[in-house]
Amino acid sequence: MSAERKINGVIYFSETRSNGFEEIYLSLRKAESRVYDDDTVKHLPEVPPCHRYYYEWLVRKRSMKTLLKYLLKNEYIKEILEIGCGNGWLAANISLKTKRNVTGLDVNITELEQAARVFGNRENLTFAYGDVYMLDKKYDMIILPSVIAYFEDLQGLIKKLLGNLNANGEIHIIDSPFFDDKLSAKEKTFKYFKEMGFEEMAGQYFHHSLNDLKGFNQEVKYDPTTFIHKANRAFDRSTPPFYWVVLRK
């Protein structure tokens, strides 16, 4: 990537290219009450029990803790990239609690600027705008949390990111749904976007199955479909309903 500029605390790894994604994405997120004020963002994943997405945040908190434990056990992981960091809560928590160098990358400038405003004054934390496909830096860990649905070509994305790993580097997919029946999931999502008044979002949201990762060197570290996890989830809504998949070269 070319020379880096910094504007409002956000580093630009590549030139901005507007395809209308940010506007429609944020409008939908606002309609869903998922765009938070600075004070709420500062405290994530902690939210009060009366919060509309309290149980979702319990899940996110649990998967974050699992990731933090993994990082503490694997000290060779020094440079971390989070793709699709949004308001920066996860990147900020990782940088604070593990002292590793964390870069949060996104294409949504509004939330990147919020992330930089709320968390940005730490030496080991960077928020960056950039096109993943132009990324030329290398990392020990690349995290894809709740973001693969915004990439149409999951295999192409993984192939590209494997090239951005240092030796022994790993890609971690967390907090992301995989669908056995992609067609019916697509129909449900379309219905939802239509009901919300954001039909065009259907062209920006894609469904993937675990099968799409066949052929890669992958390890499923957490499988939510096992009997024990399903049973736990029936009693404890903080049990993650998402796979945790690690991909290596």
Ligand X SMILES: C[S@@+](CC[C@H](N)C(=O)[O-])C[C@H]1O[C@@H](n2cnc3c(N)ncnc32)[C@H](O)[C@@H]1O
State how far the alpha carbon of 213 is from the alpha carbons of 80, 186, 208, 246, 247, in Å: 22, 19, 9, 10, 9
Measure the CA–CA gap between 79 and 74, rounded to whole angstroms: 12
* 101-106 sheet: strands from edge to edge: 5-7, 10-12, 125-129, 101-106, 79-83, 139-145, 165-176, 243-248, 217-222
Assigned token pair, 60:
């996110």
Stretch that binds ligand X, among 1-9, 80-88, 192-200, 209-217 (CB under 6 A): 80-88
Q: Are strands 101-106 and 5-7 parallel, antiparallel or unpaired?
A: unpaired
According to CB under 6 A, which residues from 152 to 181 bind ligand X? 175
Using CB atoms within 10 Å of the CB of residue 233, give its burial: 0 to 12 exposed, 13 to 18 middle, 19+ buried.
Answer: middle
Cβ–Cβ < 8 Å for 14, 129: yes
In the complex, what is the shortest distance from the CB of residue 153 to ligand X, in angstroms, rounded to a whole number? Answer: 11
Among 12, 86, 142, 201, the residue binding ligand X under the rule CB under 6 A is: 86
In the complex, what is the shortest distance from the CB of residue 231 to ligand X, in angstroms, rounded to a whole number? Answer: 26
**Total of residues contacting ligand X (CB under 6 A):** 17
Among 25, 198, 243, 244, the residue binding ligand X under the rule CB under 6 A is: 25
According to CB under 6 A, which residues from 94 to 153 bind ligand X? 105-108, 111, 132, 145-147, 150
Is 80 a binding residue for ligand X by CB under 6 A? The answer is no
Measure the CA–CA gap between 140 and 136, rounded to whole angstroms: 14
According to CB under 6 A, which residues from 178 to 217 bind ligand X? none
Stretch that binds ligand X, among 81-89, 184-192, 206-214, 237-245 (CB under 6 A): 81-89
In the complex, what is the shortest distance from the CB of residue 166 to ligand X, in angstroms, rounded to a whole number? Answer: 21
Between 17 and 214, name the residue whose CB sits nearer to ligand X: 17
Cβ–Cβ < 8 Å for 191, 210: no
In the complex, what is the shortest distance from the CB of residue 25 to ligand X, in angstroms, rounded to a whole number? Answer: 6
In the complex, what is the shortest distance from the CB of residue 20 to ligand X, in angstroms, rounded to a whole number? Answer: 12
Between 23 and 223, name the residue whose CB sits nearer to ligand X: 23
Which residue shows structure tokens 């096992």? 226
Q: Are strands 165-176 and 243-248 parallel, antiparallel or unpaired?
A: antiparallel
Between 129 and 140, name the residue whose CB sits nearer to ligand X: 129
In the complex, what is the shortest distance from the CB of residue 140 to ligand X, in angstroms, rounded to a whole number? Answer: 19
Between 52 and 230, name the residue whose CB sits nearer to ligand X: 52
H helix runs in 74-130, sequence order: 89-98, 109-119
Helix/strand/coil for 53:
coil
> Which residues of the chain form contacts with ligand X (CB under 6 A)?
25, 83-86, 90, 105-108, 111, 132, 145-147, 150, 175
